[in-house]
Chain A
């Protein structure tokens, strides 16, 4: 459980909040690059960390992320005309460049210089790995560009998607480090999902539904190891890295791709669940990409024209009681992503953690909360740079590995836990 003030601290990420400040110190994924596909394409509304912004790509291909609303009369610039190196408000023609600087106020004489006095709030927006990343923090604290491995491999090695989740970011992220639910909620998918099935590790998973967990702090966050019995006195380990504040990875299976998530607050009631698959040393096959586009693995299909999952709370997530009874889907919901999201959204927008009853297998979640609170306090009190910003913290991998029983996994999998270009992932 958390006390109410602790729950508020962790779940509130708007401007000026301690957790909001912590998020604002690192690059956040805000758009897929495909959402701004060409110069002078339509602008896109972006809501992140409870701030309403507008992203656009100007005539020269520069990305801008600015306050959504015109400084003149408060019109949404989503209606704007993206033309001649700026975004022009269609109401009275005020025009802004990618830095939010007003560059034209038609009603005022150009020589008056009035437009120089108008500037919308703006944030840096960069493209990396098919994702547009924004930095919403203090300009003098701007960190190095993100180096997450999925964003650095060749384009054909990766697939990235996103979906809206109608819950606070923390209950979504906590699902990403809650390894103990996999043996129940997702058990049907180990047999059926083309992006998981066939791996030898699945046999260990299905043969031992009571894994033992070890939680180890890392420089950037945590490693959560789930241990199951393997042959000849060995253990099968599935190791989940969490990098602060909102990056998680899932241990791989066989030669399937590696995958993981970012959980980025839109506001305090909704978040973006970013999902990525990649393989460090090979291109994804057409069949894999097709499966991902069709909602297999950790991805979803969408309501047309949106990033809202086609199974959502407005259609009861397409609950299939027959499949639930037959064990094809343990909860009756199809697809790993929506199996998680449906349950997390059912908790309500912000779950009341004063009422929960955690048990010892929840130590990964308890430790993550502990580290987040500690980092938010250190940032607020002493301006200590939070973990996860150092590029070295971002060079992590999830691992599935068989180790002798007496070897600590952090030692036995030491090299495998570090992302190294051109090196195959440790996977069983």
Chain B
């Protein structure tokens, strides 16, 4: 007689698997950190996504200086250029993906990462490092993203982002 494991792992038994949704949608916020990444994000945003929304933080030039007034509302934009509040966006996210280009300034990662840390939202950092990117350029961007990314991906081309978002049911 076949064991239960043998019988249940068969292709014939697969047709009795429950055919019902097994997850609720997760909100994924994708934020570009620099100008080249802005272009990638804007192009991606033109596709149809169910649970992904796209933003840019490239206007942010650096970490706020001590003693200066800093507002979370002024520098995060959606792809249409409307400013939006970082904390609100992070609060309503299940996952925040930060997209940077090797060699570019990714200092906005610290602010976004901090907001995600406070709200206990998972972060993924994604660095696009084309074949022309030097080790130094990559290291610089990596150093800015690493402290704030619970998962870090260094991809050779931006084609990966769409596949990743599809895989994550965005």
Contacts and interface: CB of A to CB of B under 8 A. Distances in A.
Given A370-B164, A411-B135, A411-B139, A360 B151 contact: yes
Contact of A346 (B9, B124, B156): B9
A277 B75 CA distance: 53
B80 interface: no
A215 B164 CA distance: 13
Interface string A404-420: 00101011000000000
Nearest to B13: A348
Contacts of A313: 3, 5-6, 9
B110 interface: no
A303 B90 CA distance: 54
A317 interface: yes
A271 to B, nearest CB: 14
B47 interface: no
Contacts of A357: 22-23, 169
Given A214-B152, A355-B22, A362 B5 contact: no
A373 B95 CA distance: 25
Given A2-B167, A313-B5, A360-B168, A217 B11 contact: no
Contact of A360 (B5, B14, B150, B156): B150
A349 interface: yes
Interface string A313-330: 111110000000000000
B167 A316 contact: no
Interface size on A, as a range, is 35 or more
Contact of B142 (A352, A361, A408): A408
Contacts of A215: 151-154
A363 interface: yes
Contacts of B22: 355, 357
Interface string B136-157: 0011001100100111111110
A3 to B, nearest CB: 8
Interface string B94-119: 01000000000000000000000000
Contacts, number: 106
B46 interface: no
A363 B163 CA distance: 10
B169 A348 contact: no
Nearest to B138: A408
A213 B159 contact: no
Contacts of B169: 1, 357-358
A215 B155 CA distance: 8
Contacts of B49: none
A352 B14 contact: yes
Interface in A96-139: none
B14 A316 contact: no
Nearest to A374: B159
Given A166-B9, A363-B124, A348 B14 contact: yes
Given A1-B167, A408-B142, A367 B155 contact: yes
A390 interface: no
A280 B153 CA distance: 30
Contacts of A374: 159
A269 B11 contact: yes
Given A2-B167, A352-B17, A360-B124, 12 more contacts: A166-B9, A215-B153, A215-B154, A346-B5, A348-B10, A348-B11, A349-B11, A358-B169, A361-B151, A363-B151, A367-B155, A411-B139
Query: Which A-B residue pairs are the 9 nearest by beta carbons?
Result: A360-B151, A313-B6, A214-B152, A313-B5, A366-B167, A370-B163, A360-B124, A216-B154, A215-B153
9 contacts: A212-B150, A214-B153, A315-B3, A342-B5, A346-B5, A352-B17, A359-B122, A360-B168, A361-B151
Interface of B: 2-6, 8-11, 13-14, 17, 22-23, 95, 122-124, 135, 138-139, 142-143, 146, 149-156, 159-160, 163-164, 166-169
